[in-house]
Structure 1
Amino acid sequence: MESIKVHAPATVANVGCGYDTIGFALDGVYEEIIVSKRSDERLVLQSIEGADLSLDPEQNVATIAAKALLNHIGIKAGFDFQIKKFFRPGSGLGSSASSAAGAVYAVNQLLPNPLKTSELLPFALEGEAFASKCYHADNVAPSLLGGFIAIRSYDPLDYFALPIANELHVLIVRPSVEVKTSEAKGIVPKSLDIATARNQWGNLASLVHAMHMKNWSRLKASIQDFIAEPVRKSLIPGYEEVRTVAHDHECVGFNISGSGPSMFSLFTASESLEKAKREINVFYKQKGISCDFFTSRMSDVGCQIID
């Protein structure tokens, strides 16, 4: 192949109690990356649609991740990149992660001896780290691999998959403000008291159990965050009101998606989701705030080749 087009899904990370440790891929929210071979050894960003991002290969997560892969393998090769985003950077849906994951997946497919997809995660992480100023795989792992991924350890990197829930409907609400991951991480407390840490650990263990048992009442009780949500919710206009609407319509989990400002809410019935969506839309219109909505399912599909 001389060229390839790849679909890289958006993601919901943290999922409330799993700060930097858990995230799941979305179905229907994504970006596309076309990667083509060059005759020289340059990595060239030809175009980026849907976002105002740098075309400098030293300042873009896609080419930084691709370069990390090529350096590791020891292959000198050049590629052109065309990126088309269907969701905005700074939305809390893993925009940098999907670019990094999609880029290494596409480049790997064009190599003579491609690595296994699971072996690409460290290189995608290099791109993600450039954007967020730290290493975290809760977005990039599910974007690359699909599914609901839990990160046990970063040194060494160790992760595993949780069951996804096809019966759950995901509502993403994104008010029109931008929250940069690096800035949102900067306001998270650097130390925790024992009681806070204990509550967080308990919720995370409970969430993992709930996903295995498909116990939605337990899931709802578990998706509570004592670390990031208390400080980050102030960055999101209408957060408390939107959460109230979601719970009034029987959601089984609500919190900030990644660093925000997107919020996610999980429903067992699509009718409940649509009612909540309409009410939230009216709320934001009354506030004079524009808002985007995405409806999705949890997806077990990560990066993949498309026509």
Structure 2
Amino acid sequence: MNYIKAFAPATVANVACGFDIFGFAIQEPGDTVEIRRRDEPGIVIADITGDEGRLPRSAEKNAVTVVMLHLLKHLGRTDFGCEVVLHKNMPLGSGMGSSAASAVAGVVALNELLGSPLSRKDLLPFAMEGERIASGSAHADNVGPSLLGGFVVIRSYTPLDIFSVPVPEDLYCTLVHPDIEINTKDARYILRNEVSLKNTIAQMGNVAGLVTGLMKSDYELISRSMVDVIIEPVRSILIPSFNEVKKAAIDNGALGCSISGSGPSMFALSRGIENATKAGEAMVRTFAEVGIDATMHLSGINDGGARVLESY
């Protein structure tokens, strides 16, 4: 093969109580990457669309190509060359896993072009390097679900231990992106280094409750467990009308609502598409009341993750 086109979906990370350990994929939006072999060794970024010229064009500095360079080095393929086109279909600094989708689409496309020498799960450490270059931290709660699909738990980073949790068929995500931007590095910088024992115990209970609720399709337990007492109180100050938007979602049928990733996007989980739609419309209206335009995405949990769209 000489050409591969791959897609990787947006994701919701943290999922309220699961900072850096929970994440799930949605159906759309997502990033698309095209790669084509070239005779000369090395990786060249031929074009990037949708970024308004903001992303670096150097292969060593862009999340989509850094992961490819790491994969080629691991495989000893110093002879390989390709040109890359990245199509950004979600805003930068959105809290929707934008850099993760680029990294995942890139590493999936390259692995396919090389004849799939690595399994999907084995590609994860390479995809995480895209997050390191983008945000300074090689976390897996976005790249994991974008790569593998489903609701993902990262039990450990040293060593990396990741697995998926079954979710109810009627569980829907409403992802609302207000037209503002939060830098992931800044959002991590404001977090506290120490957490009280009381909050740690409460958070552990919610983590256990959310996993159990998902596995048992216990919507009441899911709702009670979508509480973040550690990260959300700090990061929510960066999002205008956060408390009002969250209340609007829950008042209109959502099981719970919190920050998607580092924000400013907010997500709600609901039982059934009707509740998810009502909650999302209420969230958009509430942002509009303070003069902020917002875009809503409605999706079931994407259990397939990244996929190859075209090859020849």
Name the TM-score, length of structure 2 as normaliser: 0.95
Task: Tell me how many residue pairs correspond in the alignment.
Answer: 307
- Read off the aligned partner of 2:2 and give its amino acid letter: E
Q: Secondary structure of the residue that 2:215 maps to in structure 1? A: helix
Task: Give me the whole-angstrom Cα distance separating, in 1, the residues matched to 2:14 and 2:288.
Answer: 28
Q: Secondary structure of the residue that 1:287 maps to in structure 2? A: coil
Residue in 2 aligned with 1:199? 202
Gaps of 5+ in 1: none
CA offset at residue 113 of structure 1?
A: 5.5
Q: 2:61 pairs with 59, 62, 65, which one?
A: 59
- Asked whether the 8 Å contact 2:130–2:138 carries over to 1, the reply is no
Gaps of 5+ in 2: none
Which aligned pairs between 1:233-252 and structure 2 lie closer than 5 A? 233-252=236-255
CA offset at residue 277 of structure 1?
A: 2.9
- Read off the aligned partner of 2:17 and give its amino acid letter: C
Post-superposition CA distance 1:116-149 (Å, at most 9, x none): 1111101111111111111210000111111111
* Greater Cα shift, 219-228 or 7-16: 219-228
Residue in 2 aligned with 1:28? 28
Q: Secondary structure of the residue that 2:175 maps to in structure 1? A: strand
- Read off the aligned partner of 1:107 and give its amino acid letter: L
Post-superposition CA distance 1:31-89 (Å, at most 9, x none): 11111111111211111111131111121011111111111111121121111122112
- Asked whether the 8 Å contact 1:175–1:237 carries over to 2, the reply is no
Residue in 1 aligned with 2:193? 190
- Asked whether the 8 Å contact 2:63–2:130 carries over to 1, the reply is yes
Task: Give me the whole-angstrom Cα distance separating, in 2, the residues matched to 1:49 and 1:196.
Answer: 43
Residue in 2 aligned with 1:115? 118
Q: Secondary structure of the residue that 1:217 maps to in structure 2? A: helix
Residue in 1 aligned with 2:8? 8
CA offset at residue 249 of structure 1?
A: 1.1
Task: Give me the whole-angstrom Cα distance separating, in 2, the residues matched to 1:113 and 1:239.
Answer: 44
1:161 aligns with 2:164: yes
- Read off the aligned partner of 2:38 and give its amino acid letter: R
Q: Secondary structure of the residue that 1:47 maps to in structure 2? A: strand
Q: 1:174 to 1:40 in 2, by over 3 A?
A: same
Q: 2:135 pairs with 111, 123, 132, which one?
A: 132
Task: Give me the whole-angstrom Cα distance separating, in 2, the residues matched to 1:192 and 1:278.
Answer: 35
Identity of aligned residues (%): 40
Q: 1:172 pairs with 161, 170, 175, which one?
A: 175
Task: Give me the whole-angstrom Cα distance separating, in 1, the residues matched to 2:198 and 2:287.
Answer: 36
Residue in 2 aligned with 1:50? 50
* Greater Cα shift, 47-56 or 116-125: 47-56
Which aligned pairs between 1:75-86 and structure 2 lie closer than 5 A? 75-76=77-78, 77-86=80-89
- Read off the aligned partner of 1:26 and give its amino acid letter: I
Q: 1:288 pairs with 282, 287, 291, which one?
A: 291
Q: 1:267 pairs with 270, 273, 276, which one?
A: 270
